[in-house]
């Protein structure tokens, strides 16, 4: 049988993560100790209250039906969380929609708003799901660069007038993956003005909103005056509450945009397991208590890795939050080759910057998913690289 993939599948290249893992396994079989700083998978378990709550609810025979658009208790918890943490008022019935993790929401959202040929403004480098969603919708990406000179913030002024006039959607991620740049009030005000001028929908990916290590929390885009007129914010419980495997997230914001997303999702899925939703609601209602420990832990990791890499000659992008360190390596070698050489010589697994776009050349992304001692040991190993 001649099995031929669709032409669209040519747009979805296999991610490098699997190749890195496979090569690391080969080195482990040779006796190499490997330290995995590749995937941003939470290593801290969910709070005990969450594990117990989900376990109790999962034992109920009434917990196993379809939930369709989701339970009201979850939507209301999202609204309470946004009011407490961000000072943003939301309507549970019309301004909140669940997604099966943020990945599902990010990949499907362009399908709801973009026609083939429409332009989506995104960044280079960027989280890989953005391009996946753009390609799935048949839209065309226009890449804004992220550079040191602009504080690694997307430069809206660099978008040509003719591109801005045609653009349908703008995707932002602050603090981001792979570059953990922090937004400002002035920057989000610029985004709102830009979106209104060109009639562009804004999607802000706030997956790392609870990951901040100094000063105030990152701003919610929706806290910006006029933001709800032009856009949406997506957030996940995967990172902040260590609920990655439960796959639950939400999109909040403009009611008409939320209605359109709900219409799309009514054709895609039948909702999330109710005990997961109830547990997520409990997490949101205890967010301050749960995430305080997360910030203490990740602040120490962030400091150890940033200082360690700087000491051995790497140029680390300044950041006060996020789950990753974005660092320019000092070697005269491309980032992908370096990633495999690092595994071979040191056992340290990092992601080459080019996995997130061509502008990532020369950089590596390192995840803060090991304890301080292990991160310190990883830096010592990287110091021994001979290239």
Q: Domain check: are 64 and 187 in the same one? A: yes
Does residue 237 surpass a pLDDT of 80? yes
Among the candidates 288, 314, 332, a domain finishes at 288
pLDDT tier, 14 (very low <50, low <70, confident <90, very high otherwise)? confident
Identify the pLDDT of residue 177: 95
| 357 occurs within a structural domain | yes
Mean pLDDT of 275-281: 98
- The answer to whether residues 116 and 264 belong to one domain is yes
Total tally of structural domains belonging to the chain:
2
Q: Cβ distance 109 to 99 under 8 Å?
A: no
Same domain, 36 and 113: no
> Would 1 be classed as within a structural domain?
no
Domain identity same for 18 and 164: no
Look at residue 215 and tell me whether its pLDDT is greater than 80.
no
Residue 31 has pLDDT above 80, yes or no: yes
The model's confidence at residue 253, banded by pLDDT at 50, 70 and 90, is very high
Q: Give the three-class secondary structure for 331.
A: coil
Residue 368 belongs to a domain with what CATH number?
A: 3.90.1150.10
Quick one: average pLDDT of 345-370?
Answer: 97
Give the domain-ending residue among 235, 257, 288: 288
Please give the average per-residue pLDDT across 342-359, as a whole number: 97
Q: In a 3-state reduction of DSSP, which class is residue 370?
A: coil
Asked if residue 345 is part of any domain, the answer here is yes
Q: Which of 249, 264, 288 is where one domain is finished? A: 288
Residues 144 and 275 in one domain: yes
**Least trusted range by pLDDT, from 23-27, 107-111, 179-183, 358-362:** 179-183
387, part of any domain? no
Instruction: Specify whether 233 is located in the same domain as 280.
Output: yes
Which structural domain range is residue 190 located in? 48-288
At 286-312, the pLDDT tens digits run 999 999 989 999 999 999 999 999 999
Residue 336 lies in a domain: yes
The token pair that represents 355 in the structure block: 């996995």
* pLDDT greater than 90 at residue 217: no
* Residues of the chain above pLDDT 90, percent: 91
Question: Which pLDDT belongs to residue 248?
Answer: 98
Q: Report the relative pairing of strands 231-236 and 201-205 from DSSP bridges.
A: parallel
Instruction: Tell me what pLDDT residue 12 has.
Output: 87
Beta-ladder partners of 231: 202
In a domain, 2, yes or no: no
> What would the pLDDT profile of 131-168 be if each residue is shown by its tens digit?
999 999 999 999 998 988 888 999 999 999 999 999 99
How many separate helices (H) and strands (E) can be counted in the chain? 13, 13
Question: What's the average model confidence in pLDDT over 70-87?
Answer: 97
Judgement on whether residues 359 and 250 belong to the same structural domain of the protein: no
Question: Are 202 and 259 part of one and the same domain?
Answer: yes
**Whether residues 38 and 96 fall in one domain:** no
Tokens for 27, please give them.
């080195």
Q: Are residues 196 and 58 in the same domain?
A: yes
Alpha-carbon distance 247 to 270, whole Å?
A: 14
What CATH number has the domain bearing residue 110?
Answer: 3.40.640.10
**For the chain, what is the mean pLDDT?**
96
The mean pLDDT value for 211-236 works out to 93
> Is the residue at 254 inside a domain?
yes
Mean pLDDT for 84-109 is 97
Q: Residue 387 — very low, low, confident or very high, per pLDDT cuts 50/70/90?
A: confident
Q: Are residues 217 and 71 in the same domain?
A: yes
How much is the pLDDT for 256? 98
Confidence of residue 280 (pLDDT cuts 50, 70, 90): very high
CB 367 within 8 A of CB 323: yes
Residue 365 pLDDT level (bands cut at 50, 70, 90): very high
By the 8 A CB rule, do 231 and 195 touch?
yes
Residue 215 maps to a domain: yes
Residue 215 or residue 198, greater confidence:
198
296 with 375, same domain? yes
Contact 210, 295 (CB under 8 A): yes
Q: What is the per-residue pLDDT for 149?
A: 86
């Amino acid at each position: 049988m001649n099995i031929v993939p669709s032409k669209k599948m040519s747009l979805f290249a296999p991610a490098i993560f699997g190749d890195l893992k496979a090569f690391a396994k080969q080195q482990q079989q040779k006796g190499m100790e490997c330290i995995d700083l590749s995937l941003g998978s939470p290593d801290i378990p969910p709070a005990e209250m969450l594990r117990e709550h989900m376990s109790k609810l999962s034992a109920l025979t009434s917990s196993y039906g379809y939930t369709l658009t989701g339970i009201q208790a979850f939507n209301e918890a999202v609204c309470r969380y946004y009011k407490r943490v961000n000072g943003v008022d939301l309507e549970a019935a019309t301004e909140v929609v669940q997604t099966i993790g943020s990945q599902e929401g990010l990949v499907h959202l362009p399908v709801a708003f973009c026609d083939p040929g429409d332009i989506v403004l995104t960044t280079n480098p960027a989280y890989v799901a953005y391009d996946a969603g753009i390609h799935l919708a048949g839209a065309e990406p226009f890449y804004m660069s992220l550079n040191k000179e602009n504080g690694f913030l997307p430069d809206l002024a660099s978008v040509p007038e003719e591109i801005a006039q045609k653009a349908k959607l703008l995707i932002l991620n602050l603090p981001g993956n792979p570059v953990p740049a922090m937004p400002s009030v002035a920057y989000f005000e610029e985004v709102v003005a830009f979106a209104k001028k060109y009639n562009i929908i804004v999607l802000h990916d706030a997956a790392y909103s609870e990951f901040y290590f100094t000063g105030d929390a990152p701003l919610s885009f929706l806290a910006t005056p006029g933001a709800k007129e032009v856009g949406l914010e997506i957030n996940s419980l995967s990172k902040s509450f260590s609920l990655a495997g439960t796959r639950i997230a939400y999109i909040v914001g403009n009611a008409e945009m939320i209605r359109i997303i709900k219409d799309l999702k009514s054709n895609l899925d039948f909702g999330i397991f109710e005990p997961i939703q109830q547990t997520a609601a409990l997490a949101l209602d205890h967010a301050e208590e749960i995430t305080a420990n997360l910030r203490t832990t990740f602040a120490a990791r962030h400091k150890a890795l940033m200082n360690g890499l700087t000491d051995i000659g790497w140029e680390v992008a300044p950041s006060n939050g996020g789950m990753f360190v974005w660092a320019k390596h000092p070697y005269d070698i491309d980032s992908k080759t370096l990633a495999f050489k690092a595994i071979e010589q040191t056992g340290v697994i990092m992601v080459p910057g080019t996995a997130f776009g061509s502008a990532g050349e020369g950089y590596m992304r390192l995840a803060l998913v090991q304890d301080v001692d292990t991160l310190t040991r990883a830096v010592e190993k990287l110091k021994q690289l001979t290239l």
